[in-house]
Amino acid sequence: MSNENSSPATLAGQTSPESNNGHGSTSPGQTTLSGHAAPGGHDPAVSRETRRRVVAASFIGNFVEWFDYAVYGYLAATIAAVFFPESNPQTALLLTFALFAISFLVRPLGGFVWGHIGDRVGRRTALSLSILIMSGATFCIALIPGYNAIGIWAPILLLVVRVVQGFSASGEYAGASAFLVEYAPANKRGLYAAVVPASTAAGLLLGSLLAGLLTVLLSAEAMQSWGWRLPFLLAAPMGLIGRYIRTKLEDTPVFRELAEEDQAIKAPVSSLFRNHWRLLLKAVGAVLLNAVGFYVILSYMPTYLSSELGLGAAESFLATTIALVTYIGFIFLTGMLSDRYGRKKVLIAASLSFILLTVPAFALLGTGNFLVIVLVQILLGGMLTLNDGTLPSFLAEMFPTRVRYSGFAVSFNLSNALFGGTAPFMATLLIAATANDLAPAWYLAGAAAISLIAVALSRETSKEPLRHE
């Protein structure tokens, strides 16, 4: 993404230095980021080096978050034995996943808090604090003694740490997306924002691979004693690197412009619900396909393949890993497609593809043929990227600058808390209730239908300048 046609591209009406004879001054009639005349005659063009650092800073936070989630999920059986040894294995595993689910319950609260900080104090401040708290909490998991050492305090401490993680992580996806969109060239906001879902998938991929490697290399006794702690220890250096990169960046140009004009809003969340509640409802609906689709296709799928369809655990893991790799590649393509054809067209295509193809795709999974399963997962992952690669820029552009962080964080975390974290549970429940292995597919198609309506009622934003109001 460093190729920008030999000059820093403009940001929503901003002119490049080259167009001003290299002096960075603005002639009469030229505009700034928000479409207003540049105060003082200066053009705040953003260099390619700055944008590269913005991309790195935005990538690493979500990467650390989902690296942890992948490790926790993949090593759940080992963690259950460490923290709930007196329970039977199934109960211990359920308790371990219950702690995972609880972290989602605090996400809406985190969305309110981080949205307020991001819109009131600054995007950089919110992102620098969130990655520090999140990586610190992840690191602390590795330090908690097991049940045999401190008894009931072991699962209690694990619960506390997971709640802190959920709270801090709730500001990452929204904040990183807003940060990238506000720094990106006007014609590449979709491509830049696609870095965020790509970092999510990369974290899942590396976390799963590392957990799998440790399981192969270490004995069961070594894994239960100390091996499971190693991946969580990596969170500290990764988080410190991310925080260092973020503190070396200035806040986004559009937020700095607001601050200089003393226009940063004092109560962004209150303003969001009072003045932009229609946008908020549309955003929650638009996120629904992402919330359900991501967790069903990239998180729940290995369990579905092994538990419901009888595929071997190794084959299920391999098929999902291949899907994750292709997902990362597709995500940038869909970001570029949304820049060229518009956010709404790509998001509508995503919803329609899930409505029409999800049930047939799940039916093909039932054939049990490994090659067919891999191809179907690649197809489902590609369909999901049409939504996931477009959604960050769509949501960031939907809300005015003064409540952008809050609007994104609240809508994204509400939808994910209500429908994302519960998606694996709902899929399992529907299969049990209907005795139909295709039940998760119908659930996913229903989520796509709701998102289709929400997107269709929204306006196209890709060609518009970022707006203050």
d(CA 461, CA 458): 9
CA–CA dist 78, 221 (Å, integer): 10
Mean pLDDT of 325-342: 93
Residue 54 amino acid letter: V
- 447 has pLDDT over 90: yes
pLDDT at 37 over 80: no
Rg (CA), the chain: 22
Per-residue pLDDT tens for 66-106? 898 888 877 888 888 899 887 777 677 677 777 777 777 88
Per-residue pLDDT band for 467 (boundaries 50, 70, 90) equals: low
Q: Which residue has the tokens 């000059």?
A: 7
pLDDT of residue 39: 33
Kindly tell me the sign of the dihedral angle through the C-alpha atoms of 380, 381, 382, 386: positive
pLDDT score of 452 more than 90: yes
The token duo for 275 is 């003045």
Nearest to 394 by CA among 453, 322, 338, 328: 338
* Angle subtended by helix axes 439-456 and 277-294, to nearest 10: 150
Q: What is the pLDDT of residue 14?
A: 38
pTM > 0.75: yes
Q: Residue 79 corresponds to which tokens in the numbers above?
A: 């963690």
**CB count, 10 Å around CB of 3?**
6
Select, from the ranges 154-158, 167-171, 285-289, the one with the highest average predicted confidence (pLDDT).
285-289
Whether 140 has a pLDDT exceeding 70, the answer reads yes
Q: Specify the long-range contacts of residues 83-91, CB closer than 8 Å, at least 24 apart.
A: 83/146, 83/147, 83/154, 83/155, 83/158, 84/147, 84/155, 85/146, 85/147, 85/148, 86/147
Which residue from 309, 417, 424 is spatially nearest to 370, judged by alpha carbons?
A: 309
Residue 41 · residue 19 · CB < 8 Å: no
pLDDT grade for 28, boundaries at 50, 70 and 90:
very low
At residue 225, does pLDDT exceed 60?
yes
Dihedrals phi, psi of 37, to nearest 5 degrees: -65, 140
Q: Which residues of 347-376 are buried (b: 16+ CB within 10 A; e: fewer)?
A: bbbbbebbbebbeebbeebeeeeeeebbbb
Please answer whether residues 110 and 170 qualify as being in contact, where contact means their C-beta atoms are separated by less than 8 angstroms: yes
Closest by CA position to 387, among listed 406, 415, 407, 364: 415
pLDDT of residue 410: 95
pLDDT of residue 318: 84
Question: pLDDT at position 208, please?
Answer: 84
Q: How far apart are CA 312 and CA 108, in angstroms?
A: 37
What's the helix, strand, coil split of the chain in %, to 5?
75, 0, 20
Q: Which tens digit of pLDDT belongs to each residue from 363-420?
A: 998 888 899 999 999 999 999 999 999 999 999 999 999 899 999 999 999 998 888 8
Neighbouring C-beta atoms of residue 128, cutoff 10 Å: 20
Average pLDDT over residues 206-232: 89
DSSP 3-state of 14: strand
* Tokens of residue 306, six digits: 């092994």
Burial class of 323 by CB neighbour count within 10 A (0 to 12, 13 to 18, 19+): buried
Across all residues in the chain, what is the average pLDDT? 84
User: Averaging pLDDT over each range in 9-23, 225-239, 250-264, which range is the top one?
Assistant: 225-239
Residues 64-82 as b or e (16 or more Cβ within 10 Å = b): bbbbbbbbbbbbbbbbbbb
Angle at 467 between CA 452 and CA 413, to 5 degrees: 45
Beta bridge partners of 42: 25
Candidate from 85-94, 113-122, 285-294 with smallest mean pLDDT = 85-94
Q: Report CA-CA distances (Å) from 404 to 142, 176, 189, 305.
A: 35, 12, 15, 39
Position with higher pLDDT, 336 vs 45 = 336
pLDDT score of 90? 67
